[in-house]
Structure 1
Amino acid sequence: MNPISLILLAFAMSTDAFAAAIGKGASLHKPRFIDALRTGLIFGVIEGITPVIGWFIGQAAVGFVEEWDHWIAFVLLLLLGLHMIHAGLQPETAEATEKAKSHSFWVLAVTAFATSIDALAVGIGLAFVEVNIWVAAVAIGLATMTMVTIGVLLGRVIGTAIGHKAEIIGGLVLIGVGAAILYDHTML
């Protein structure tokens, strides 16, 4: 995977967390930088760990599906991208707004895990392409930490409308990365 694809993947993985962070920031009364950074660190660490777990799961299966690995990566990224686009097109519910108002460590950790399930699936897909999973995990974690920190700070100002748009853009980027992987492997 080339560095540009890796950077795009990292930021695409952070968009759902960014959307959640904007909602969180919108629900807090004047969030401080330290609160935003704490939230960003929690999300970033969890989002960075999940693709590694997925990669190990994928490595266990790579010998069985080596001939189809690029198709598997493409389909996983396509499905995740479509899921993110679908989620971005859904109206925000009152329940999601209520969840955003609580910001204890455990609530943040559960929310971070929920938004990182896609990173677990991406990690499985990355097991089938040439990528250093540790570099990818750090990139995803740093991108998520940065986006969530910014999202919490911006949330109070711009509200939740941009959050759904970020998920749609992230979904489109994931589909593009999947298409690039498929193209790279079928053109060789």
Structure 2
Amino acid sequence: MNLLSITLIGVGLSIDSLAASITTGACSKNIRLKHILKVASFMAFFQGTMPLVGWLIGSSFKSIIEDYDHWVAFFLLLGIGSKLIYDGIIGSSDEMNSNPTKNMLLAGMAIATSIDAMILGIGFGLIEINIWLAMLIIGSTTFLFSTIGVFVGEKLGNKINKGIEIFGGIVLIGLGLKILLEHIYY
């Protein structure tokens, strides 16, 4: 597999992380560079290492994992999205109760948005590919997209503010539903 193909795969895999990062930025109050880098690092780490996990699992488990990966992603994003909606409903307009840059929330979003990368890694095990180069490109692309996403989300969040947690929760649930429906119908 050539460098261009791996880069295009990295861009495709980064789109879900971009959406989750925009939501994180929009739901965060007073976000700083360290928060942006933290979100981008979580997303890049999981998106970059999941192909290795899939590659190590091997093609013999592909049918088992494919049967459930979309459900895992859906329920993780449904849970995180529901919490954001709940916090948005019970919280006041000046103070956001949830902190989407908490480690557990970030890990949940990062895992949910990188399950496809693990399945792709299983496919990588069937072809000749430099898995380390693929991980580096996928992780770097995700880091870049997530950094931009948090920044854009933070700018949108400051302008919209009221109800942004509800909107963010809806976006994450929608992302989970998209993953679920893509796997069920395609």
Fold agreement, TM-score > 0.5: yes
Q: 1:130 Cα deviation (Å)?
A: 2.2
| Identical-residue share of aligned pairs (%) | 33
Alignment of 1:6-25 (within 5 A): 6-25=6-25
Alignment of 1:36-115 (within 5 A): 36-58=36-58, 61=60, 95=83, 97=85, 98=87, 101-115=99-113
Q: 1:24 Cα deviation (Å)?
A: 0.5
Contact 1:23 1:100 in 2 (8 A): no
Matched residue, 1:27: 27
Match of 2:139 among 138, 141, 149: 141
Gaps (5+ residues) in structure 2? Answer: 72-80, 88-96, 158-166, 180-186
Q: 1:144 Cα deviation (Å)?
A: 1.1
Q: 1:31 Cα deviation (Å)?
A: 1.6
Contact 1:33 1:153 in 2 (8 A): no
Aligned length: 149
Q: Deviations over 1:154-186 (max 9, x none)?
A: 10224679x79xx7xxx9xxxxxxxxxxxxxxx
Contact 1:24 1:152 in 2 (8 A): yes
Contact 2:38 2:101 in 1 (8 A): no
Code of the aligned partner of 2:139: G
Secondary structure of the structure 2 residue equivalent to 1:129:
coil
Distance 1:124 1:100, change over 3 A: farther
* Residues in 2 aligned to 1:96 and 1:105: alpha-carbon distance in whole angstroms: 15
Q: CA RMSD in A?
A: 3.8
Gaps (5+ residues) in structure 1? Answer: 63-71, 84-92, 172-188
Matched residue, 1:176: none
Match of 1:130 among 113, 128, 131: 128
Match of 2:151 among 125, 149, 153: 153
Q: Deviations over 1:60-116 (max 9, x none)?
A: x39xxxxxxxxx9xxx8xxx9xx9xxxxxxxxx654555974321222112211111
Q: 1:152 Cα deviation (Å)?
A: 0.7
Secondary structure of the structure 2 residue equivalent to 1:30:
coil
* Residues in 1 aligned to 2:20 and 2:31: alpha-carbon distance in whole angstroms: 14
Q: 1:139 Cα deviation (Å)?
A: 0.9
* Residues in 1 aligned to 2:110 and 2:153: alpha-carbon distance in whole angstroms: 17
Code of the aligned partner of 2:108: V
